[in-house]
Amino acid sequence: MTATQMAQIPAFLSHLKIYNGYAVPFIQMWIDGKPDFRVVDPAKVLECVNKSLCAICGVKLGEFCYFIGGDLSKDNQLFADPPMHEQCAEFASKTCPFVSGKRQEYSNRPVDTTVARIEVMASSVRPKQMYILRTRTKKIGLVNVNGRPMIQAWIWSRVMEIGKETTPEMQESVQLLLKSKKFLDWKLPTRSLDDMEQWDPAFGVDNRHFKPEELAEAWGVSTETIRSIFREEPGVLKIGNPATRSKRGYFTLRIPEEVAERVHRRLSA
């Protein structure tokens, strides 16, 4: 294994077994000493559901968990694989060839049926669009669908498209961020009582909302760069008036701290 391959494994997955330079997800089936990335271990799946563990890292989930799926799974809220932490789902969306879109079909290499059961899939072809879907951890559970155990998710609190194409403006904004030392060194500020007294009650005190100019100062870039980054980001609040036939629309953004932290983690990884 090369140093470059090892560097690609983030710290939160460093405890996992490594095979050919890749971190092997917690639920993966091992056959004859090798992981088969198309097959999950049913016992590990049950353990994840019963103990609220992440399918990728095997660590306890928090209040929210994240699934990856296409339009069908998004609509029926049914999954074969357990949920993940947000950072694990984001990592999987970039490194898994099928999920990221680098490969449009699963490998047709035979699976050893003496050690693994073949589940009939709705399709072995990648859906046109895939998503990272957030829901509450305590609301998920096992259900029986036509004799097959499936994982039932609850209502989605956030839906984020995977591999959504970025505009040249967005790409330029990302490059500006990556050149900013303030952005690279940024940590979410610790809350204090004085801070809480300054927050706008309309947005609640459980989750601070940044103005674009505040985040621009914290990240060392222009306000317009922040607007470009967050304009279409899921979870950002848009406040203002839509355009009419006689008037231009105007919106100002409010960026929840969890969204700022998510974007920082994704872009600085």
At residue 50, does pLDDT exceed 80?
yes
pLDDT, tens digit (0-9, with 9 covering 90-100), for 233-263 = 888 898 887 767 777 767 789 999 988 998 8
Q: Are residues 193 and 235 in the same domain?
A: yes
Looking at the structure, do residues 145 and 186 belong to the same domain, yes or no? no
Number of domains in the chain: 2
**28 with 153, same domain?**
yes
Same-domain pairing of 61 and 124: yes
Q: Which residue has the higher pLDDT, 188 or 221?
A: 221
The predicted model gives 40-44 an average pLDDT of: 93
Q: What is the pTM of this model?
A: 0.63
What Å distances lie between residue 147 and 56, 62, 86, 150, CA to CA?
Answer: 26, 30, 30, 9
In sequence order, the 6+-apart residues with CB closer than 8 A to the CB of 110 are none
* In a shared domain, residues 155 and 42: yes
Full residue range of the structural domain in which residue 136 is found: 3-111+119-161
234 and 152 inside one domain: no
Q: Residue 240 belongs to what H/E stretch?
A: strand 237-241
